[in-house]
Amino acid sequence: MKTFAQTIPTGINRIDGDLSSTISGNNNHSVNVDIAIIDTGVDLTHPELNVFKNISFVKGVKKGNDDNGHGTHVAGTAAAKDNLVGVVGVAPDARIWAVKVLDRSGSGYLSDVIKGIDYVTANAVQIEVANMSLGCQCNSAAMNTAIANSVAAGVTYVVAAGNNAMDASTFSPANHPDVIAVSAIADSDGKCGGIGPSTGYGADDTFASFSNFGSVVDIDAPGVNIYSTWKNGAYNTISGTSMASPHVAGAAALFKATHTLATPADVRNSLLSNGSTPSSICNGHGFGYFTGDKDTISEPLVYVRNY
């Protein structure tokens, strides 16, 4: 026998998901919104995830089930249920569309990713937000067009900036003008102020050592030692801009849930205007900035208390 307890991951705590309108962690709310996870799939039977629909574009794989773990981890940060067990997401219980475009090794064909984007576009009447914690140092006119068409159809795209400690301008889809590209910070205690223990990727409240940076990055989010759901009904702690991105996707979902007519541009503007900046004074919770950014552009740190 054991006690049942729900963890509020440090990333959710850092952006004050527990103080947002949905109060992540109180077992009392769910968010009426749809999020597409374009990734390795999602654990279709994980008790923490509300998987609404699934599809696979990986050859030989018929369903969008996750045989890697990455997509399930992303989904949990964005939308794990508020149910007193496991973890809780930024937009608890949001309907998840598991769009599998990467295989068990976490890689896949660009053509399959484009098919996944086109699938989201075909279902844009229902899907408000799409997360893409994937990319390559490449440029594809076909993928650029697919993303542009999907955003024009009303879907907000949130993507990872990449983990190469390089300028993200040469990485796709982070360099697409219509997406919200996310870099990662290290946060070890779920609070601003930089007083938590150091991590393997930097001191508390500093820019993550692995994170890409540059002018194409729109916003930052926690991405180090993030605890979330995993394949086969499990949980895991991993790091990356892939983990930062779903914090922002969840924030976008919170905004869309109460601003149903908002365009992707409206969502972007709200996220940027509500984030903390270098001039933000630490409030003892999550509202406060970080140090160590690798460029001269001080993009905001995502914050959801006002949602």
Peptide bond into 173 cis (omega under 30): yes
| Cα angle 116, 152, 243; round to 5 | 50
Three-state DSSP class for residue 235: strand
- Give yes or no: 242 in active site: yes
**Cβ–Cβ < 8 Å for 186, 202:** yes
Exactly one of 34, 39, 93, 167 is catalytic; which is it?
A: 39
Strand partners, 133: none
**Cβ–Cβ < 8 Å for 230, 69:** yes
Exactly one of 211, 228, 239, 242 is catalytic; which is it?
A: 242
| Amino acid present at 94 | A
**Cβ–Cβ < 8 Å for 134, 161:** no
Exactly one of 70, 73, 176, 285 is catalytic; which is it?
A: 70
DSSP string, 27-94: S------EEEEEES---TT-TT--EEEEEE-STT--S---SSSHHHHHHHHHH---SSSEE--SSTTP
Alpha-carbon 276 to chain mean position: 17
- Reported residue count of the chain is 307
Range list of β-strands (E), 101-192:
129-132, 156-160, 180-186
Strand partners, 129: 35, 156
Q: How many CB atoms lie within 10 A of CB 233?
A: 14
Looking at the annotation, which residues are catalytic?
Answer: 39, 70, 242
